[in-house]
């Protein structure tokens, strides 16, 4: 049975999870990163079934990472930094074309990482929006500036169609469940810098290792 509390979602909790991602040495804990994504998916599921093709893919990728974490080599997957080092050193990553390692932690996390950039751009728009701002427009602008560049035409088409089904700003804020629009804005203002930091740390790590374009 699913407990009621599990269904109740608050934006604050999800954003707090991203807060706990970073260690004092700026390493990213995979467990918390994945938990953050779980929360986001829960939120997306509240928005309606048109988004289920998106949440299915996200859930699938989350599960791949959880399996690595719980697997016999789980100790190497504690942080994104240790994961990258381990998988590259042990040649567990397809670097140029898909082959033996379609479920490497590195390529799987890269997909979520790119989506995190979308989230950052979208939440930034939401934070600076006004009552008459259109969520579908904000969402597609954020998408076109980020994830879309990594997606085939058919996916872009499907995503674009789904965006038109997004609820309006007021509903969005209700579902977030943090209180008044002013409180939503405050929470966004507090946590966006943390999401940006997690994004940037990961981006730099991937750039240094030359793995930003993994197939
Ligand atoms: C609220 C609306 C959500 C819109 C999310 C935008 C993302 C659109 C992505 C559409 C494509 C999904 C279908 C699968 C694509 C895969 O081909 C692709 C590449 O993977 P692969 O294995 O084929 O190389 N996968 C991805 O790019 C990963 C996409 C993950 C998207 C996860 C989105 C999770 C969204 C959460 C909603 C949060 C709403 C934020 C509001 C504030 C709440 C804190």
* Position in ligand 1 atom list of the atom nearest CA 47: 1
- Secondary structure element (H or E) that encloses residue 169, with its range: helix 169-176
Q: Ligand 1 in contact with 118 (CB < 6 A)? A: yes
Strand partners, 29: 79
Q: Ligand 1 in contact with 111 (CB < 6 A)? A: yes
pLDDT tens sequence for the chain (215 residues): 445 455 556 778 888 898 899 999 999 999 999 999 999 998 888 888 888 899 999 999 999 999 999 999 999 999 999 999 999 999 999 999 999 999 999 999 999 999 999 999 999 999 999 999 999 999 999 999 999 999 999 999 999 999 999 999 998 888 888 888 898 899 899 889 999 999 999 999 999 999 999 99
Ligand 1 pocket test: pick from 109, 155, 164, 168 the residue with the most ligand atoms within 8 Å of its Cβ: 155
Q: Quick one: residue 42, left, alpha or beta (phi over 0 = left, psi -120 to 50 = alpha)?
A: alpha
The predicted structure's pLDDT at residue 99: 96
All domains of the chain, ordered by start, with CATH? 9-96+104-196 (1.10.3520.10)
If 0-12 CB within 10 Å is exposed, 13-18 middle and 19+ buried, where does residue 84 land?
A: buried
CA gap 75, 82 in Å, rounded: 9
């Amino acid at each position: 049975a699913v407990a009621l509390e599990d269904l109740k979602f608050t934006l604050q909790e999800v954003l707090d999870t991203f807060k706990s991602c970073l260690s004092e040495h700026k390493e990213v804990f995979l467990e918390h990163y994945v938990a953050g994504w779980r929360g986001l998916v829960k939120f997306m599921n509240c928005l309606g079934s048109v988004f289920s093709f998106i949440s299915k893919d996200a859930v699938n990728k989350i599960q791949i990472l959880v399996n690595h974490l719980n697997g016999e080599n789980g100790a190497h997957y504690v942080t994104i930094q240790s994961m990258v080092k381990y998988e590259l050193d042990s040649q567990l990553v397809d670097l140029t074309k898909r082959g033996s390692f379609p479920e490497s932690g590195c390529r799987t996390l890269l997909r979520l990482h790119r989506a995190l950039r979308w989230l950052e751009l979208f939440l930034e728009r939401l934070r600076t929006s006004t009552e008459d701002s259109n969520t579908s427009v904000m969402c597609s602008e954020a998408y076109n500036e980020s994830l879309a560049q990594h997606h085939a035409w058919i996916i872009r088409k499907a995503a674009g169609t789904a965006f038109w089904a997004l609820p309006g700003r007021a509903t969005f804020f209700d579902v977030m469940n943090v209180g008044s629009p002013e409180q939503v804005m405050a929470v966004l203002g507090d946590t966006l810098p943390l999401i940006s930091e997690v994004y940037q740390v990961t981006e730099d790590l991937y750039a240094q290792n030359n793995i930003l374009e993994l197939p």
